[in-house]
Structure 1
Amino acid sequence: MRTLKNLIVKANFIGIVVLVSSSFLFIQSCKSEKKSTPVETAAEPKENVIEIITENMDFQMPDTIPSGWNTFRYKNQSPQTHFFLVDKYPEGKTSEDAEKVIGPVFDSAMKLIMEGKPEEGFAEFAKLPEWFSEVVFVGGSGLLSPDQVAETTINLKPGKYIIECYVKMSNGVFHTSMGMTKDIVVKPVDSGNKELIADIAINISSTDGIVFNDSINSGKHTFSVFYKDQIVHENFVGHDINLVRLDENANLEELENWMNWADPKGLIEPAPDGITFMGGVNDMPEGNIGFFTANLEPGKYALISEVPNALSKNMLKTFVVPE
């Protein structure tokens, strides 16, 4: 029998999946309206955003969106923690392949891991098809707690994509297996949106971890997230950025352990006490940049990546927003 170490090395080309569903709500900019007076006055334009709403195990969002820079406003109206991740699958592969081919492998592996059989569990990943190594994660939101709203801005090229959430139910079943997968089409027509201007810049890499200026005042901020590099970590996923508000009873060790899905208690409902996830920017390839906005009240916060041993990798950074 091969050792767990050999299995992980063999599977190291793999990212995590199991993919995403629902329907999109796209809001376009409105044109100026004419008043009844002879003098025309421009009406205040509507925000050009794509809304995603989760009420249960779903993504309510449009099937087709424009290419270029798009801001996604994700409203988590469900009782569970979620995120959305945009995946570029190989040509001809859809969410049906994710659900019928990829999903069962992850479910089987997680079941064995939770039964205390990690070697057998990780061995299951050898059953993934070769084409799965071609899947590219192109961004999305960070984790989002119930009744929270997050805004994430990413640049998408025309093509077909899949959206997913792979947080786990209390029994270890991935949300993807509960129906949180969806196919979307990004049209050649450009959104017309411009790249955002951030007031807080974050760099993330496997060598330096999370680097940013932690002197942050209260109020609304736009964060940029630059992926200096991207690698596959021990749990088969790349690094990302998640913004977390920490209450007085928050335990950083519990948070760090929970962020590793491969741990039997990781990325599983319920999330740790004293933790409020506020979004961020999900996995992106090396050299890419994404943005997220957040309204910060005075208090303690953290930026953390969904990797094992985030603290030792400098991918768990706390900061305080003063009164």
Structure 2
Amino acid sequence: MNGPKHANRRTVLRTTVATLVGGGLVMKRGGATREPSPGKPQGRRNDVGIVAEHDHDADEHRFELDRREVASGWTTFEFDNRTDHTHLAYLPRLPQRALSDAEKEGMDPLEFYVETVTRPFQFLWDSEVPGKTPDSADDTDVYDSVLPPWLEDLVFYGGPGLTSGHGSSTTTVDLDPGEYIVECYAKDDTNDFHSSLGMIDQVSVTSEESDAPEPDSTLDISLSTDGIDAPAEVRPGRYDVGVEFENQQQYGPLVGHDLHLIRLEGGTDVEEVDGWMNWADPDQFVSNGDEPTTFLGGVSDIWTADLPRTGYLHVVLEPGDYAWVAEVPDPASKGLLAEFGVHRERGLPGQ
């Protein structure tokens, strides 16, 4: 790294962090649109198994995928969390420039993403969080800018939502062809993002279209900038929850709305949950086994050019009290935290 270039990047570092956390960066979303097939496709599911693991000795979080290439179309992610921590697996699709630049640098797409996004972002975060010391090894000299110029061209396609330790969840989303990152950005006790500790992988989606069918929704939820529209009461049973993303917007720190299911057990403080959902607060979104509630999965951000799009959460709802919540700052004030009950009463929607 030459001197002038390094100095240039340092002068913008603090401004970049403030912009990211303060919400000034507007992320442009685009995405390919496939022509819909006539009628409903029939056939086997297009599945990817993801196991979340934690190496306590090395303090490494990681994903183990049972396959890294799938056909395009409806894809079901079976998420098995074998750790004590809460994780998610969201799916940004890399833009063509990222793929071209990775090839020029002699890196595969995953290695290039870690080099130009994951590690520099941790470096920026460590520069601003009290008590953190940035590691110069996390910096990069691939671009003149601190973060890559194509960052705003990432397109988000959903993925498994927050799932508590030793739990599992199942999510189905519609994937266009391309190269996808599979990433968890929850934080540990030291404010390191799980992705920077190894919880990041890649899935290639081919142009060959899968014959996997779209799930039949048995519980419909609408998610928009107006909030969550969902039944206040349902009956117990197994549900294929269709989550329609009607529109999107950026809620300050780089995130659009998504949807996660939580169980309101005895002692759950909904206000504490509301605060925990803000990753840009160093004291929040920390996954250390002391999370304020039990997370049962969901559908991560969907933000493509062809909204509305629907993602599906497959879940068994037992009697009790629950809530849907988005991972945005102060979701309750935005209508993005909605409590509901599961009871065996006649006349309720559901199975």
Q: TM-score range by the shorter chain?
A: 0.7 to 0.9
Deviation string 1:164-208 (CA, Å, 9 cap, x unpaired) is 1111111000011111121221123332111111111111111x1
Alignment of 1:11-90 (within 5 A): 11-13=25-27, 49-56=47-54, 57-61=61-65, 62-90=67-95
How far has the Cα of 1:211 moved from its partner? 0.6
AA matched with 1:103: T
Paired residues of 1:80 and 1:269 also in contact (CA < 8 A): yes
Q: Distance in 1 between matches of 2:149 and 2:45?
A: 42
CA separation of 1:166 and 1:6: change in aligned 2, threshold 3 A: closer
Residue number in structure 1 paired with 2:111: 96
Q: Give the 3-state SS of the residue equivalent to 2:285 in structure 1.
A: coil
1:168 aligns with 2:187: yes
Q: How does 1:97-136 map to 2 (within 5 A)?
A: 97-115=112-130, 127-136=146-155
- C-alpha distance in structure 2 between counterparts of 1:116 and 1:308, whole Å: 23
Offset, 1:103: 1.9
TM-score (norm 1): 0.81
- Displacement of 1:247: 1.0
Of 146, 158, 163, which residue of structure 2 is paired with 1:144? 163
Unaligned runs of at least 5 residues, structure 2: 1-13, 30-42, 55-60, 103-108, 133-144, 345-351
Shift in CA distance, 160/10, structure 1 to aligned 2, threshold 3 Å:
same
The amino acid across from 2:123 in the alignment is S
CA–CA separation in structure 1 for the residues paired with 2:69 and 2:23 = 38
Following superposition, which runs of at least 4 residues in structure 1 exceed 4 angstroms of deviation? 1-7, 45-48, 271-274
Structure 1: gaps spanning 5 or more residues: 16-44, 118-125
Distance 2:127 2:150 in 1: 24
Match of 1:195 in 2: 214
Q: What CA RMSD, in Å, does the superposition of the two structures yield over aligned residues?
A: 2.5
SS at 2:241 equivalent:
strand
**Match runs of 1:157-306 below 5 Å:** 157-206=176-225, 208-270=226-288, 272=290, 275-285=293-303, 286-306=307-327
Q: Deviation digits for residues 75-105 of structure 1, max 9, x if unmatched? A: 1111211111111112215222221121233
Equivalent residue letter for 1:287: P
Aligned-partner residue type, residue 210 of structure 2: S
Q: Secondary structure in 2 aligned to 1:176?
A: helix
SS at structure 2 position matched to 1:13: coil
Q: TM-score, normalised by structure 2?
A: 0.75
TM-superposed CA distance for 1:240, in Å, is 0.1
> In the alignment, which residue of structure 2 is the partner of 1:25?
none
